[in-house]
Amino acid sequence: MIKTRVSSLLGVDYPIIMGGLYWLGRGKLTAAVSEAGGFGLITASSFNNKQELLDEIEVVRGLTGKPFGLNISLGYRNMEEYFDAAVEANVSAVFTSGRNPVKYIALIKEAGIAWIHVAPTIRYAFKAAELGADAIVLTGIEAGGHPGPDDVTLMALIPKAVSLLSIPVIAAGAITNGATFLAALALGAEGVQIGSRFIATKECGAHPVVKELIINSDETDTIINNLKTGGRSRALKTEAVHRFLALNKKIDITANYQSSDASNSYLKVFKDGEIDKGSITIGQGLGTINEILTAEEVIKKIVSEAIQANKKLNISLG
């Protein structure tokens, strides 16, 4: 076991949290992460309504009796029914991201559910702490998905946040193995959130073509997509992404980006393996993801590598 305030808060053996993965954050993978001693998260936006989400929660409970939670990203559609589902199902924690979740906080807290907010900057982390967050996930520019507006790495973010905040800080971005896990703890984080590494697992529903592309790519093979809306995401440098970037320079694609077309393109990639149809969101930790393992093997490997790395740090500092 690795004891921190985060592992105690979530009731897990290891403060290793599965990141929010649209469409991929489903029952089988969520349960596998939790069963292995980490904390699995169902990604609520993967489901069309409350009942679908409740059904997926039951899938998890049929596979593990260990704690798990929901990732709820705000800003794309009305997510109120998903917060209701979290309370009704009495999940252990809700991780929010995107827009301000202020109107849902009382609902979560009164149900005795831990609330953790994912923030891309220290300013947003402070705001969430003021609103009563039990912990904060800080996302560095290294991360896949939506890393936020500033080009700031975890090396800069975590130590500053830890020195200023009284609640636990969780690091997210390019954490894929024991060395990076240990480094995050050394910076002062009390847990890590991992997304990209769990895509290349046997329980993940990503198409085999996507998984193979991930394990055969390098740390230099990602790019930030800067949208005219101010949004941005880190993805693999595929032909589809380059076409998207060229189009974005010419026209305002806001409406298309937020429409169901974007979701359909994502599914064509991750579900059907049609790489040329959309982007593959992935972090810069890509270069150290070189094999497809089970979620349990990933977590055990991270923990054992961290222990060995810690032993090797027998450095005399005077």
Dump pLDDT digits (tens) for 18-58.
999 999 999 999 999 999 999 999 999 999 999 999 999 99
Cα 268 to Cα 23, 107, 274, distances in angstroms: 11, 36, 6
Indicate if 298 and 279 belong to the same structural domain. Answer: no
Alpha carbon distance 258, 286 (integer Å)? 27
Rounded Cα distance between 75 and 59, Å, is 27
pLDDT grade for 150, boundaries at 50, 70 and 90: confident
In a domain, 318, yes or no: no
Asked whether residue 15 falls in the same domain as residue 148, the answer is: yes
Provide the token pair at 184: 């995050």
Strand partners, 137: 118, 170
Torsion angle in degrees (nearest 10) through CA of 287, 291, 296, 300: -60
What pLDDT score does 43 carry? 97
Q: What is the mean pLDDT of the chain?
A: 91
Number of structural domains (the chain) is 2
Residue 246 lies in a domain: yes
What would the pLDDT profile of 288-315 be if each residue is shown by its tens digit? 999 999 999 999 999 999 999 999 887 6
Q: Answer whether residue 317 is part of any domain.
A: no
Percent of the chain with pLDDT over 70: 90
Q: Could you report the per-residue pLDDT of 191-207, keeping only the tens digit for each?
A: 999 999 999 999 999 99
More confident residue, 241 or 108: 108
Residue-level pLDDT at 147: 80
Residues 298, 176 share a domain: yes
Residue 186 host element (H or E): helix 178-186
Digit-coded pLDDT (tens) for 156-166: 999 999 999 99
Residue 44 CA: distances (Å) to CA of 30, 103, 130, 173: 12, 18, 25, 21
Query: What pLDDT, in 10s, does the model give residues 245-265?
Result: 666 655 444 444 444 455 678
Q: Where residue 238 falls among pLDDT bands split at 50, 70, 90?
A: confident
**Whether 103 and 250 share a structural domain:** no
| Count of CA atoms in the C-beta half-sphere (13 A) of 44 | 30
252: in domain: yes
Query: Do 105 and 129 touch, CB atoms closer than 8 A?
Result: no
